[in-house]
């Protein structure tokens, strides 16, 4: 009942996702070769090339194409999104943060390389992401490249990912309100998705109205990403339940179903889908991005 209500035109969505993700993987592999000092590049590549759905880079390319740009123009920015996403996961997994041993089915970066290297690998990925957008973006006006870099900076720093993480850490063990939860998700998840589509649109030559439409669309799908994840946690098959829901109960992590009930959480998700679709209705050719909404609803590995 949370699937998009608009009829979707036929479009080989899975094929598009798979092809673009393959191109992104090739570009990432090329952007950060294994070179001296080997240890740091090995650690950077280990997490960067460890799989992952590549949602952010594909959204960046899709937004660029939506406004008339091509994949090549958006590729450095698309790679930057994945570098930043990866570094945030490396730091999030550290013993001083979530202290996780596994990520994407493999030992976490600090488990493989040690804490010092994991911190430095995150730092190096973060700084290189900005360098890469500035140095490798071709056939885009310098003014648009600078705007994209500014967008990225604000999404990552103390008004973005870092803000979400610090408020999340501070709220541990405390009663979390719906407002707190939304603040955490908007900053930890939506801001980077927003930067991905907005940078793609800016680089693709979008006018201001189009840029703001895709921004609002991204805000909706960022929250949707989390609401749906929370709903899936509750409604997972009983065999999976033992593995993850149990952990969730022990950690007493705040979720949408816990704070508003499962029915209201589903209604909230449906509202976000409608809002995202309304923003995309502005474009004649947004069928691809309409499909990304169903990607958000049913994460690609669960389709």
What is the nearest approach in angstroms of ligand GRG to the Cβ of residue 155? 9
* Minimal distance, residue 279 CB to ligand GRG, in Å: 21
Q: Which of 106, 165, 248, 259 binds ligand GRG (CB under 6 A)?
A: 165
- 91 sits near ligand GRG (criterion: CB under 6 A): yes
Judged by CB under 6 A, does residue 55 bind ligand GRG? yes
CB atoms within 10 A of CB 93: 22
Which of 188, 213, 266, 290 lies at the binding interface for ligand GRG (CB under 6 A)? 188
Nearest 5°: phi and psi at 249? Answer: -65, -40
When binding is defined by CB under 6 A, the residue of 189, 190, 210, 255 that contacts ligand GRG is 189
CB-CB neighbours of 96 under 10 Å? 10
Interface region with ligand GRG, contact rule CB under 6 A, candidates 28-36, 160-168, 174-182, 239-247: 160-168
- 227: which 2 tokens? 């609401």
Site for ligand GRG contains 191 (CB under 6 A) = no
104 contacts ligand GRG (rule: CB under 6 A): yes
Cβ-based nearer residue to ligand GRG, 61 or 156 = 156
Which one of the spans 10-18, 52-60, 176-184, 212-220 is the region binding ligand GRG (CB under 6 A)?
52-60
Strands (E), 83-151: 102-103, 106-107
CA dist., res. 22 & res. 37, Å (int): 27
Question: Residue 263: which residues within 8 A CB-CB, separation 6 or more?
Answer: none
Q: Is the dihedral of CA 23, 62, 224, 168 positive or negative?
A: positive
Check binding of 193 to ligand GRG (CB under 6 A): no
DSSP 300: G
Judged by CB under 6 A, the residue of 43, 148, 161, 297 near ligand GRG is 161
Residue partners of 181: CB distance under 8 A and separation at least 6? 254, 255, 256, 259
What is the Rg, in whole angstroms, of the alpha carbon atoms belonging to the chain? 19
Here the tokens at position 93 are: 């997994």
The reply to whether 20 sits near ligand GRG by the rule CB under 6 A is no
- Residue ranges that bind ligand GRG, judged by CB under 6 A: 52-53, 55, 85, 88-89, 91-92, 97, 104, 126, 156, 161-162, 165, 188-189, 225
């Amino acid at each position: 009942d949370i699937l998009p209500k608009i009829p979707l035109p036929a479009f080989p969505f899975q094929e598009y996702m798979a092809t673009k993700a393959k191109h992104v993987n090739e570009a990432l592999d090329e952007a950060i070769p294994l070179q001296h000092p080997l240890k740091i590049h090995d650690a950077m590549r280990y997490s960067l090339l460890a799989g992952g759905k590549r949602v952010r880079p594909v959204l960046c390319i899709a937004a660029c194409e939506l406004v008339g740009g091509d994949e090549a123009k958006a590729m450095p920015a698309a790679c930057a999104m994945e570098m930043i996403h990866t570094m945030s996961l490396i730091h999030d997994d550290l013993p001083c943060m979530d202290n996780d041993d596994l990520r994407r089915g493999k030992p976490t970066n600090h488990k493989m390389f040690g804490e010092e290297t994991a911190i430095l690998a995150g730092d190096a990925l973060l700084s290189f992401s900005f360098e890469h957008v500035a140095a490798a973006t071709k056939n885009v006006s310098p003014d648009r490249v600078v705007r994209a870099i500014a967008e990225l900076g604000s999404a990552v720093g103390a008004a973005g990912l870092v803000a979400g993480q610090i408020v999340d850490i501070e709220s541990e063990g405390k009663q979390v309100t719906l407002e707190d939860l939304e603040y955490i998700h908007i900053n930890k998840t939506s801001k980077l998705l927003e930067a991905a589509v907005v940078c793609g649109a800016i680089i693709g030559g979008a006018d201001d109205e189009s840029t703001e439409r895709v921004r609002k669309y991204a805000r909706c799908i960022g929250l949707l990403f989390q609401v749906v994840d929370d709903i899936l946690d509750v409604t997972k098959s009983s065999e999976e339940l033992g593995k993850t829901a149990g952990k969730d109960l022990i950690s007493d992590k705040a979720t949408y179903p816990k704070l508003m009930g499962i029915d209201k959480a589903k209604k909230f998700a449906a509202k976000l889908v409608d809002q995202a679709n309304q923003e995309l209705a502005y474009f004649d050719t947004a069928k691809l991005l309409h499909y990304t909404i169903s990607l958000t609803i049913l994460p690609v590995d669960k389709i």
